[in-house]
Amino acid sequence: MKPFSGTSLTDHALTTGEVLLTYWKVKAEYQWDAGLAMSTYLNGLKQGKLLGIHCPQCRRTLIPPRVFCELCFRPLDQWVELANIGKINTYSVSYVNWDATRRQTPEVPAVIEIDGASPGMGILHLMGEVGDTLEAITRRLKVGTPVQAVWKPDSEREGAITDIRYFRPIG
């Protein structure tokens, strides 16, 4: 017994006109408002700068920035330029792509605590220049390893987190 009743379409039926077939190009355009905090942050990335925001009440500097402090609920507007360096808070060695296919060489996502931001504040990004085997990567990287942002050239930046190509170990 077939799991579904009916007649399957064949390539022959589709190419000879036995069935009605229509092609169209979908125009799926959209716009997204990043908001005040994220727009300023993304504009900073386009200029090759990491921007955080300071809460004078809690005395924390946050990255990524927010429009209000989630601890004291104070509105935030004191922008701070942060260093292009930091340290690894945590990392993973991944042999799986986003679509669950196997990678030949590993990818290393890491949470980077940016210098000048409060402890525990950081961004998720990829590591680079760490080797292409598990052994090489684990020799180069540890929690606390100092790292530096590697930026795209000015002409290639578009105001996205990918304006940072990757972070690389320092030293």
pLDDT tens digit string along 137-149?
Answer: 999 999 999 999 9
For 60-105, write each residue's pLDDT tens digit. 999 999 999 999 999 999 999 999 999 999 999 999 988 889 998 9
2 located within any domain: no
Which residue range is the domain that position 94 belongs to? 35-169
For 26-52, write each residue's pLDDT tens digit. 888 878 788 889 999 999 999 999 999
Higher pLDDT, 4 or 100: 100
What is the structure's pLDDT at 23? 83
- In 3D, which of 148, 171, 152 has the Cα closest to residue 162? 152
CB atoms < 10 A from the CB of 72, how many?
Answer: 12
165 located within any domain: yes
2 confidence band (pLDDT: 50, 70, 90): low
71 located within any domain: yes
The Cα 166–Cα 108 span in angstroms is 10
What is the structure's pLDDT at 35? 87
* Residues in contact with 45: Cβ distance below 8 Å, sequence separation at least 6, in sequence order: 157, 159, 160, 161, 163, 164
81 located within any domain: yes
Tell me whether residue 164 is exposed, middle or buried, using C-beta atoms within 10 angstroms of its C-beta: 0 to 12, 13 to 18, 19 or more. Answer: buried
- Rounded to an integer, the average pLDDT of 118-130 is 95
Average pLDDT for the chain: 92
What is the structure's pLDDT at 24? 86
Task: Measure the CA angle with vertex 130, ends 125 and 133; round to 5°.
Answer: 110
| Number of domains forming the structure of the chain | 1
9 located within any domain: no
Strands (E), the chain: 50-55, 60-62, 78-82, 85-91, 94-96, 102-114, 122-127, 146-151, 164-169
What is the structure's pLDDT at 22? 84
3 confidence band (pLDDT: 50, 70, 90): low
The Cα 157–Cα 31 span in angstroms is 19
Residue with tokens 């605590």: 113
Q: Is 51 helix (H, G, I), strand (E, B) or coil?
A: strand
The Cα 109–Cα 125 span in angstroms is 6
Q: Looking at this protein, which amino acid is placed at residue 131?
A: G
The Cα 48–Cα 153 span in angstroms is 9
150 located within any domain: yes
17 confidence band (pLDDT: 50, 70, 90): confident
What is the structure's pLDDT at 111? 97
